[in-house]
């Protein structure tokens, strides 16, 4: 499988995990009696931002790997190092803008970002040897 297909596959796995986590989070909000439209909107936008953040990281990693294969290891390292603060800055600005709008529950907006790491851990547990 080429690197672009791997990036898309891994993003799909992350998307499923983040959406499951977001649905569970919204369910918890409902169970404790705090469900509202702003929770649903916050969860959906947070999940989308989380998935897009992972996708952009995967694309940049693929580009860096392509550079490394072409013997430009330093260029690949620089690309990875420079993309991280840019992704974080864009993510922070978007989260602040959405949070300040008042249409989104801030906890529901931010919490889906935390669902990526558990999804990776669970996916690794079920990954077949050699993949």
Contact 3, 70 (CB under 8 A): no
Q: Alpha-carbon distance 112 to 38, whole Å?
A: 14
pLDDT score recorded for residue 131: 61
Q: What pLDDT sits at residue 69? A: 82
Instruction: Give the per-residue pLDDT at 1.
Output: 62
Q: Distance between CA atoms of 110 and 106, rounded to whole angstroms?
A: 6
Nearest alpha-carbon partner for 38 in 107, 95, 96: 107
Does residue 50 contact residue 117 with C-beta atoms inside 8 Å? no
Give the per-residue pLDDT at 73: 83
- Per-residue model confidence (pLDDT) at position 130: 63
- pLDDT tens figures, 85-100: 999 999 999 999 999 9
CA–CA gap between residue 19 and residue 47 (Å, rounded): 6
Query: What is the per-residue DSSP string for 25-58?
Result: HHHHHHHTT---HHHHHHHHHHHHHHHHHHHHHH
Q: Which residues of the chain have pLDDT under 70?
A: 1, 130-131
Q: What is the pLDDT of residue 76?
A: 83
Q: What was the pLDDT predicted at 23?
A: 98
pLDDT tens column, 14-35: 999 999 999 999 999 999 999 9
pLDDT of residue 27: 98
For the entire predicted model, the pTM comes to 0.91
- Quote the CA–CA distance of 45 and 65 in Å, as a whole number: 30
99 in Cβ contact with 109 (< 8 Å): yes
pLDDT recorded at residue 47: 98
């Amino acid at each position: 499988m080429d690197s672009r297909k791997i990036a898309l596959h891994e993003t799909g796995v992350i998307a499923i995990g983040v959406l499951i986590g977001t649905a569970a989070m919204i369910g918890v909000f409902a169970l404790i009696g705090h469900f509202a439209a702003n929770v649903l909107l916050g969860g959906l936008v947070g999940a989308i931002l989380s998935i897009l953040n992972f996708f952009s990281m995967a694309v940049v990693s693929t580009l860096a790997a392509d550079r490394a294969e072409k013997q430009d290891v330093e260029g690949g390292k620089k690309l990875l190092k420079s993309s991280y603060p840019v992704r974080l800055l864009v993510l922070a600005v978007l989260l602040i803008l959405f949070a300040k709008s008042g249409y989104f529950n801030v906890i529901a907006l931010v919490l889906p970002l935390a669902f990526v790491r558990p999804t990776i851990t669970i996916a690794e547990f079920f990954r077949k040897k050699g993949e």
